[in-house]
Homo-oligomer: A and B are copies of this chain.
């Protein structure tokens, strides 16, 4: 049908998350049709991140400098350490713009099903980091799933035994959320966490 080079591009594109053979073909064709405006910029962008982006040894964020900009920004509060599952969640919190402290990226969650144990994640490094003098509060910003809450529980137990203050994200009704579209667990959690108006 087409050349080996095009077939190979379609295969690689189809391996990207959320894509498959069909979307891979559509994207490959768009790239071939728009070389200067789409294909070349994408290739150059990939080359740039491949050569320059590294993982921050302190927090696990991705940046072109090391330590990353979030770890060295003096305007951020080094007393607040926010624990996130991965860089995607870190980015989500940064888009929110509310949090102005430091991060620790776990790189995953504990999972009996997938055999992920504390030693597979960076728990020792997290505990060492949380034990530093400057840290006043550890905020667990982990998913409100079984694995997220199990992971949060294990970390909270350990840090509380060390006497470090630990908090976690509030669970409740999403902003703009209709009550009858919420799952029961969220509604119950919001009710338990009710506050005076």
Residues of A near any B CB (own CB < 8 A): 1-6, 8-9, 12-13, 15-19, 23, 25-32, 35, 38-43, 45-50, 52-53, 61-64, 69, 86-88, 91, 94-95
Q: If A46-B42, A46-B43, A50-B39 touch, does A16 touch B8 (CB 8 Å cutoff)?
A: no
Could you tell me if A9 and B46 are in contact, using CB atoms closer than 8 angstroms? yes
B30 to A16, Cβ gap below 8 A? yes
Q: Which residues of B contact A25 (CB under 8 A)?
A: 88, 91
A53 vs B5: C-alpha distance when bound (angstroms): 8
CB pair A5 B64 closer than 8 Å: yes
- CB-nearest residue of chain B relative to A18? B23
CB-nearest residue of chain B to A38 = B15
Q: Which residues of B contact A18 (CB under 8 A)?
A: 23, 26-27
Contacts of A27 in B (CB 8 A): 16-19
Q: Are A9 and B45 in contact (CB under 8 A)?
A: yes
- In addition to A9-B48, A12-B45, A29-B87, 7 A-B residue pairs with Cβ atoms within 8 Å of each other are A2-B61, A3-B53, A3-B64, A6-B53, A9-B49, A12-B41, A31-B46
Known A-B contacts A8-B48, A49-B32, A53-B32; A91 and B41 likewise in contact (beta carbons under 8 Å): no
Could you tell me the distance between the alpha carbons of A15 and B94 in the complex, rounded to whole angstroms? 22
Instruction: Give every chain B residue within 8 A of A48 (Cβ-Cβ).
Output: 5, 8-9
